[in-house]
C-alpha cells in the first residue's frame, strides 16, 4: 500500500485511515477486534479514534472505542505497527470538555490508560475552544510532546481563520504546531473545505485526514430512497442528501464504478484521495464487505475523465439540496 507523509512531519501514513468511531457502538467488541486484525494484515495500520467515542450510545460514557483499541494492541505486540490518532475536547460530561491545560492533561492520561500505551502518535484538538487562549492550549500540547506522551498534534473542526491563527501562535512562541487538519470533506460536502480551509492547508503544507469520507454511508449507495434511511443510525445525517442532487451524484458514482469494475464506496474514496491537500481519508467499516472496500479503494486509480465527471456533478454550485 502506498504511504505518504503527513504534513511536514516524518509521520508516514497509508492512504486510508480506519475510523474507530464504530468500535463498541455499531460494531461489537468481538467484531471490532477481528476487523482490526484484518485491517492490520491488509496494511491499514493508521487508526483514528477519540475519547468521546461512543458517548452518544445508550449506556455508554465515552472511551469505549479507545478501550477496545487498547485491548487489541495489548495482544501480539501490535503497538509498534500501528499509527494511532485520537482526539480531545468534545464534551465527555461532568464538565470534561474543551482545551484548557488542566483538562488536556487529565484527558491525555485517561486516553493513554484506555489505549494501554505510553504514547499517542497523533493527538488532535477535536474542535476549537475559543474560550481558551490558543497560547495555553498549544503550550500544553508542547509539554506533552516534550514528555513523549504525544508525538504530533493536529486540529479538527477549526475554521480557516482560527487554524491560521493557531499556526501563527505556535511559530511566534516556539511551540509545537498542528501538522494536520481533520475536516468534514467528501463528494457531497465540499464547499467549506475547498473555500475556507484548503488555502490554509496548502500555505502551511498541512496533512488532511477528512472524516465522513463516505458521507455517513450515503456515498456507498446504501441509501437510494428516503425509506432506505428510515430507522437507521445515520438517518438524520444522510437525510440532507436524499434529493435530486444527491441521487444524481450517486448515479455518476454508479456509472464510474461500473466502468472500473468497482463499487461506489471505492470510487468515492479514490476521488477524495487525489483531491488537493488530502492525505488519507478516514472511513469506518461495519462489516467485512465495508473493510474490503477500504482496502481496495487504496488500490484504485481513476482516469482523468472519471475524476472530472465526479467533480462536475458534485460541484457546490450545482447543489440544489431541496
Q: Residues with catalytic annotation?
A: 53
Asked if residue 248 has a cis previous peptide bond (ω within 30° of 0), the answer is no
Locate 171 and state its grid cell: 511559530
306 grid coordinates:
472519471
CA atoms within 13 A on the CB side of 55: 14
Which of 218, 201, 320 minimizes the C-alpha distance to 268?
Answer: 218
Centroid of chain to Cα 48: 6
Q: Is 110 exposed, middle or buried (0-12, 13-18, 19+ CB in 10 A)?
A: middle
Return d(Cα 230, Cα 72) in angstroms, integer: 34
Amino acid at each position: 500500500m502506498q504511504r505518504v507523509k503527513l504534513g511536514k512531519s516524518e509521520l508516514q501514513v497509508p492512504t486510508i485511515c480506519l475510523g474507530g468511531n464504530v468500535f463498541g457502538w455499531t460494531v461489537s467488541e468481538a467484531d471490532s477486534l477481528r476487523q482490526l486484525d484484518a485491517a492490520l494484515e491488509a496494511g491499514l495500520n493508521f487508526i483514528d479514534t477519540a475519547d468521546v467515542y461512543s458517548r452518544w450510545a445508550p449506556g455508554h460514557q465515552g472511551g469505549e472505542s479507545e478501550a477496545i483499541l487498547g485491548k487489541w494492541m495489548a495482544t501480539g505486540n501490535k503497538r509498534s505497527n500501528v499509527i494511532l490518532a485520537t482526539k480531545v475536547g468534545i464534551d465527555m460530561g461532568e464538565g470534561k470538555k474543551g482545551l484548557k491545560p488542566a483538562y488536556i492533561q487529565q484527558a491525555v492520561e485517561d486516553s493513554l490508560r484506555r489505549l494501554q500505551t505510553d504514547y499517542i502518535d497523533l493527538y488532535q484538538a477535536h474542535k476549537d475552544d475559543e474560550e481558551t487562549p490558543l497560547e495555553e492550549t498549544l503550550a500544553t500540547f508542547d509539554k506533552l510532546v516534550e514528555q513523549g506522551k504525544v508525538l504530533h498534534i493536529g486540529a479538527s473542526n477549526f475554521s480557516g481563520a482560527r487554524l491560521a491563527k493557531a499556526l501563527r501562535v505556535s511559530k511566534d512562541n516556539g511551540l509545537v504546531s498542528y501538522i494536520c487538519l481533520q475536516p468534514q470533506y467528501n463528494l457531497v460536502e465540499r464547499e467549506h473545505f475547498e473555500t475556507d480551509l484548503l488555502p490554509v492547508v496548502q500555505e502551511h503544507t498541512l496533512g488532511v485526514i477528512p472524516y465522513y469520507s463516505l458521507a455517513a454511508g450515503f456515498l456507498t449507495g446504501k441509501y437510494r430512497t428516503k425509506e432506505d434511511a428510515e430507522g437507521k443510525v445515520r438517518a438524520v445525517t444522510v437525510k440532507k442528501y436524499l434529493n435530486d442532487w444527491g441521487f444524481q451524484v450517486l448515479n455518476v458514482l454508479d456509472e464510474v464504478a461500473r466502468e472500473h469494475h468497482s463499487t461506489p464506496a471505492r470510487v468515492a474514496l479514490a476521488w477524495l484521495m487525489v483531491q488537493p491537500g488530502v492525505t488519507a481519508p478516514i472511513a469506518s467499516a461495519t462489516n467485512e464487505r465495508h473493510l474490503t472496500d477500504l482496502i481496495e479503494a487504496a488500490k484504485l486509480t481513476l482516469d482523468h475523465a472519471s475524476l472530472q465527471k465526479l467533480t462536475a456533478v458534485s460541484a457546490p454550485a450545482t447543489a440544489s439540496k431541496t
